[in-house]
Amino acid sequence: MTLWFLFALMTAAAIFAVLWPLGRRRGLGPRGGSDLAVYRDQLDEIVRDRAAGLIGEAEAEAARVEVSRRLIAAADAAKPDAAPLAGATFRRRAAALAVLIALPALAAALYLKLGSPQLPDQQLASRATTPMQNRTLDTLVAQVEDHLAQNPNDGRGWEVVAPVYMRLGRFDDAVKARRNALRLSGASAAREADLGESLMAAANGVVTDDAKAAFERALAYDPKYSKARFFLGVAAYQDGQGSKAADIWRDMLKDAGPDSPWIGMVREALASVGAPSEPASAQQPASGPSAEDIAASEQMKPEDRNAMVRGMVDRLADRLKRDGSDLEGWLRLMRAYMVLGERDRALSALADARRALGHDTDKLRRLDELVKELKLEG
Amino acid sequence: MIAEFGHYALVLALGLALVQAIVPLWGARTSDATLMNVAGSTALAQFIFAAASFAALTAAYVGSDFSVVNVFENSHSAMPLLYKFTSVWGNHEGSMLLWVLILALFGALVALFGSNLPATLKANALAVQAWIASAFYLFILITSNPFARIAQAPAEGRDLNPILQDIGLAVHPPLLYLGYVGFSISFSFAIAALIDGRIDAAWARWVRPWTLVAWMFLTLGIAMGSYWAYYELGWGGWWFWDPVENASLMPWIAGTALLHSAVVMEKRNALKVWTILLAILAFSLSLLGTFLVRSGVLTSVHTFASDPSRGVFILAILVLFIGGGLALYAWRAPLLKQGGIFAPISREGALVFNNLFLTSACATVFIGTLYPLALEALTGDKISVGAPFFNLTFGPLFVPLLIALPFGPLLAWKRGDLFGAAQRLMWAAALGVVALAATFAIQRGGPVLAPFGVGLAVYVMIGAIIDPIERIGLFRQPFAVAFARARGLPRSAWGTAVAHFAAGMLLFGVIAESQWNSERIVSLKPGESVSVRGYDLTLDNMIQRPGPNYRELVARFSVRRDGAVVDVLEPAKRTFPQRQMSTTEAALMTVGASQLYLSLGDIGSDGAIAVRLYHKPLVLLIWFGCIVMVLGGALSLSDRRLRVGAPKPARHKPSLQPAE
């Protein structure tokens, strides 16, 4: 409400600025300076210059004649200006009325189209205190980074900083840190699985071949290592092998102890592929994945989940329409369309991305890589 | 609420600009003083609303309100406070807002201080100013709105482009814009005069101070930008003939030509058609510069975001104003009566000479900048027109101009005495030759160009001050008399001498820097040394240091001369995690006007760091020259003649005196 009151005041001030000169009763003659003053001053200047000895008598005389001629011409031109004006009152009223109506109308129309009056300010000070924590986190990270820059062989340090990178969303750094930890502190199921997780995060949640290899290495060290198993399930699901994923997860549940913390997560994952938590023996065909499989599992999903995914994809598409420079966003969008089975949309997103990324050959190359990976073209 | 307040203020500013664009013009057509008066108050109100809008955006930046898209994309909560201010214009939307703010500022200044102008001229000029402003308000609101919002504010912003996180950026764009946009006033006056059909000697005097102000700011802005590129980009160069630099140089040259031709018009009522054309061209080139930089036609650090719709919009503005201005000019200019006649050898002749060479130089830059773009657009071929082209064309055009420069002020109006002027310049020429010979002797086998350049620079500097020295009778009269005469000399004469002297300084700096620049590029490990021109630099150690929103690798060098440590230099490489970018921070050591320039390259696999070390003799003269040139402009601006014609308040406004 205060906002609209403020807007009203501002509009009133703007209208006042226009009406004020219109309302003043002033002489009708032209106000302000005229060229006569300039020429008179030029004459004075010639006198001054002559007195100071800056110009000779002959030049001064010639200049005086010239300026005088201009002065006379200007004086002649100035005279007819003072004629009385017809229709002044009408013009004044017309202008005032037009401004009174047009100015607020235009301002309101434009603002309502462009503005977001419903949004409050969200200044840093008034937002939650998370940024303050972030800042201390930043300095902590900086300290650890300093330490690691000087002792790059401290495997323990890399291990400490890696999860922080993950939290900060610096996934490429996290991958680097975990590779270092692996190299320096020796391989183990946990380290391999952590590396796989970072790789996956760096690829926007897609289990790449690298990540998959890391999870498989982890299982070589400990066949029951739950994190690696879970993500291999995700990998299977992403490859379109929903039933295989469900099998992996169900196996996990079978092995789960009563206090395994990840039980809930696995159950959810199972629900999301539409499979019951308990083994359902012959129902699922064990054969390879097919489009029907995915479509079937899609249908089995609850409506709202579907809508939620749709909404997220739409928002992403919307954002990219406004700012097309975000390569990662495009990659994610195209993958999402392919997962949803909307090849046409993926293709049109590809065309949009090519247009938006323009001449950036580096990004275009990565785009082409994805196209190959998804077998999108040809 | 602050952001929405700013948004609405911007919308209202557009509304007021539209009123200001129409009503005063109507008043001028019907000689209605009341309607014409609307121009002044709307110009002021429009400025106030534009300023409020700008202040609101600044508040959003300072408070890190990431619900404003623009702030989210170009700020970071950990950024130092100064850069929160500067990042307001360190992006496309904000810088366009600054652009219109300055446009409105100049309109308001004319409204406030233009009381010496004829009412119709003032009303028309402010109306034209408002057309330009309306176009740019629309551009901002429709294609690059700085007040777009996000419902859920992200936790952290994306940070400002690290290259722009520098004190140079704080000053460079506002100065440059004050210059660019300042020429809009000359343009508005030219269009207003063409609409009115009355262009005479008085017009030139009214326009001159505004042109001078714009020219001064543009000079400072270009100098600042050049110095910034010099120490921030890490290449040690101060001018790259980069299209973006050229875009700012072209209006400067046109503005310089305009300043000189306006003198002829004021004094002699001649060159009227030409002066009007220059006024239109100077601003057209400013607009062109804005278009080139903002549309993404050129990619550089200035291209914050390239979006085809913006380019098309600016192109439309460009066509409208340049095309419209030139069309009006073609229609009206033949109506202008030609004024005084003059002999080729005269002050006027010298100024025409100046204009001829300046416009040729401007055309050279224009071709060198736009030809590659046009070629690429038409055929897809990429060619690069670099420094060699400009050095070979721009340089030779400036040599005769500089040789002729001291003659100008020594020649009389109408008919001058070339031989007499040459005689009076004997001293300057003699000293120039001495400097040439001395340079030859000292450098023994150095660059051939250097002695001639130094000789020319000395000649220009001495030649520039000969005129005032003679006029006040220094060395011939007792000092007291000379001093009294010096005070009596018009300030504009002093301004001319100082600005021309500065041109010599600038040339001296350019010659010294380009001919005697000494460079070492080496890879160093801690403990190793490199020397240049008697300075020995030892890399002591390298350390990592955290900054507020970056981390830097600092290399500490001690500088020794004859074994004694004279200074410690700390060039650095900064890494900004938010943008995954790094910048180089060059370290400078100033000795007199010369500088030692040290910047870091990459670290090799063996732990050695690449180092670029330059010794740049007298390089600071380049920027000192620009500053002195601006001082000359300021002296000229303070001349009382430029303010003449203001009606004395007591005579013209008795009715406004408050009854006490």
By C-alpha distance, the chain A residue nearest B416 is A59
**Dist CA B593 CA B466 (whole Å):** 25
Give residue B295's pLDDT: 65
Sort out which chain A residues have CB atoms less than 8 A from B38's CB and list them. Answer: 18, 21-22, 95
Give pLDDT, residue B77. Answer: 81
Are B641 and A41 in contact (CB < 8 Å)?
Answer: yes
Alpha-carbon distance A54 to nearest alpha carbon in chain B (angstroms): 7
In chain B, % of residues over pLDDT 70: 94
If pLDDT is split at 50, 70 and 90, which confidence band does B654 have?
very low
Per-residue confidence at A28, pLDDT binned at 50, 70, 90?
A: very low
Q: Which two tokens stand for residue B501?
A: 């002297």
Nearest chain A CA: its distance from B660 CA (Å): 21
Residue A296 has pLDDT above 90, yes or no: no
Tell whether pTM > 0.95: no
Q: Which residue has the higher pLDDT, A354 or B58?
A: B58
Q: How confident is the model at residue A244 (pLDDT cuts 50, 70, 90)?
A: confident
Q: How many domains does chain A have?
A: 4
Contacts of B414 in chain A (CB under 8 A): 59, 62
Same domain, A177 and A205: no
Mean predicted lDDT score pLDDT of chain B: 86
Average pLDDT over residues A180-198: 87
pLDDT tens for each residue of A309-346: 677 777 778 777 777 777 878 888 888 887 777 788 88
The answer to whether residues A226 and A249 belong to one domain is yes
Q: Which residue has the tokens 């040729």?
A: B360
pLDDT at A79: 57
Which of helix, strand or coil describes residue B164? helix
Mean per-residue pLDDT, A143-167 = 81
CB < 8 Å to A121, chain B: 1-3, 60, 63, 65, 67
pLDDT surpassing 80 at residue B528: yes
Q: Is A237 domain-assigned?
A: yes
Proportion of chain A above pLDDT 90, given as a percent:
7
Q: Give the residue from A221, A252, A275 where a domain finishes.
A: A275
Average pLDDT rounded to a whole number, residues B191-202: 85
| pLDDT grade for A53, boundaries at 50, 70 and 90 | low
Question: Residue B308 CB: number of other CB atoms within 10 A?
Answer: 11
Contacts of A181 (CB under 8 A, 6+ apart): A155, A158, A159, A162, A191, A194
ipTM of the complex: 0.82
State the first-to-last Cα distance of chain B, in angstroms, to the nearest integer. Answer: 43
Question: CA–CA separation, B600 vs B574, rounded Å?
Answer: 11
Lowest mean pLDDT, pick from A48-52, A233-237, B257-261, B312-316: A48-52
Here the tokens at position A181 are 């930890």
* Collapsed DSSP state (helix, strand, coil) of residue B166: coil
Is A330 contained in some domain?
A: yes
Of B85, B71, B89, B92, the C-alpha closest to B158 is: B71
Cβ-based neighbours of B528, under 8 Å, separated by 6 or more: B538, B539
Lowest mean pLDDT among A119-123, A154-158, B89-93, B639-643: B639-643
Q: Quick check: B652 and A35 CB within 8 A?
A: no
Of B355 and A254, the structure prediction assigns the larger pLDDT to: B355
Pair (A32, A96) in one structural domain: yes
What does the alpha-carbon distance between residue A241 and residue A139 come to, in Å, rounded to a whole number? 44
A77 and A181 share a domain? no
Residues A25 and A96 in one domain: yes
Residues A97 and A158 occupy one common structural domain: no
Dihedral of CA B146/B148/B151/B156: which sign? negative
**Helices and strands: H and E segment counts in chain A:** 17, 0
Give the other-Cβ count within 10 Å of B456's Cβ: 22
Instruction: Give burial (CB, 10 Å; 0-12/13-18/19+) of A375.
Output: exposed
- Best A36, A38, A90, A101 member to test B by mutation, with max B CBs in 10 Å, is A38
For residue A153, which phi and psi values (nearest 5 degrees)? -100, 20
| Measured distance CA(B346)–CA(B323) in Å, rounded | 35
Segment B617-644 mean pLDDT: 86
The SS3 call for residue A334 is helix
Residue whose structure tokens are 């002027």:
B421
**pLDDT in the model for residue B302:** 56
Q: Is B605 exposed, middle or buried (0-12, 13-18, 19+ CB in 10 A)?
A: exposed
pLDDT value at residue B340: 67
| One-letter identity of residue A214 | A
The answer to whether residue B145 scores a pLDDT higher than 50 is yes
Q: In the predicted model, what is the mean pLDDT of residues B19-45?
A: 90
Strands (DSSP E) along B254-395, which ranges? none
The domain boundary, picked from A224, A250, A275, lies at: A275
Q: Is the domain of A173 the same as that of A212? A: no
Residue A131 inside a domain? The answer is: no
pLDDT of residue A270: 80
A369 with A319, same domain: the answer is: yes
- The CA-CA-CA angle for residues B66, B67, B68, to 5°, reads 85
Q: Which of A107, A114, A127 sits opposite B15 (nearest CB)?
A: A107
Residues B154-165 pLDDT 10s: 777 777 777 777
Specify the pLDDT at position B626: 96
Q: Are residues A263 and A312 in the same domain?
A: no
Banded pLDDT at B123 (limits 50, 70, 90): very high
pLDDT band at B282 (very low <50, low <70, confident <90, very high): very high
Buried b (16+ CB within 10 A) or exposed e, B474-506: beeeeeeebeebbeebbbbbbbbbbbbbbbbbb
Question: Does residue A132 sit within a domain?
Answer: no
Residue of B nearest to A135 (CA): B78
> Which carries the bigger pLDDT value, residue B158 or residue B530?
B530
Does the beta-carbon distance from B11 to A120 stay under 8 Å? no
Under 8 Å between Cβ of B297 and B315: no
Give me the sign of the Cα torsion angle B8, B10, B15, B16.
Answer: positive
Interface contact flag, B18 A17, Cβ < 8 Å: no
Residues of B within 8 A of A87 (CB-CB) are 30
> Which of A185-199, A273-287, B242-256, B509-523 is predicted with the least confidence, judged by mean pLDDT?
A273-287
Q: How far is CA B272 from the centre of its chain?
A: 25
pLDDT at B21: 94
- Among candidate residues A114, A132, A151, the one where a domain is terminated: A114
Q: How many inter-chain contacts (A to B, CB under 8 Å) are there?
A: 230
Higher-confidence position of A64 and A357:
A64
Q: Measuring CA to CA, which residue among A83, A66, A84 is closest to residue B342?
A: A66
Strand-pair partners of B595 = B590, B616
Please report whether residue A224 resides in a domain: yes
Domain that holds residue A319: 283-374
| Phi and psi at residue A262, to the nearest 5° | -95, 5
CATH code of the domain containing A217? 1.25.40
Q: Which of A28, A34, A37 sits opposite B33 (nearest CB)?
A: A28
Percentage of the residues of chain B whose pLDDT score is greater than 90: 39
Position of tokens 């954002």? A319
Residues A181 and A230 reside in one and the same domain:
no
- Residue A377: pLDDT band (50, 70, 90) is low
Cα gap B133→B238, rounded to integer Å = 33
Across A227-231, A326-330, B44-48, the highest mean pLDDT is recorded for B44-48
One domain for residues A43 and A102 = yes
Choose from A156-165, B232-241, B343-352, B451-460 the range with maximum mean pLDDT: B451-460
Is the alpha carbon torsion for B364, B368, B373, B375 positive or negative?
positive
Q: What is the mean pLDDT of residues B75-85?
A: 86
pLDDT at B323: 94
Specify if A130 maps to a domain: no
B31 touches chain A (CB under 8 A): yes
Q: Bridge-partner residues for B568, per DSSP?
A: B558
Residue B646 is nearest to which of A17, A33, A106, comparing CB atoms?
A33
Q: Is residue A129 part of a domain?
A: no
Whether residues A251 and A174 share a domain: the answer is no
Mean pLDDT of chain A: 77
Per-residue pLDDT tens digits for B367-408:
988 888 888 778 877 777 778 888 888 888 999 999 999 998
Task: Give exposure, B641-650, as e/b (b: 16+ Cβ within 10 Å).
Answer: bbebbeeeee
Say if A227 falls within a structural domain. yes
pLDDT tens-digit readout, B599-630: 988 887 777 888 989 999 999 999 999 999 99
pLDDT at residue A261 is higher than 80: no
Would you call B201 an interface residue with chain A, using a CB distance cutoff of 8 Å?
yes
Q: Which tens digit of pLDDT belongs to each residue from B222-231?
A: 999 899 888 8
Residue with tokens 């028309």: B124
Record the tokens describing residue A94, joined without a space: 């017309």
Instruction: Say what the alpha-carbon torsion angle B221, B224, B230, B231 is, to the nearest 10 degrees.
Output: -140
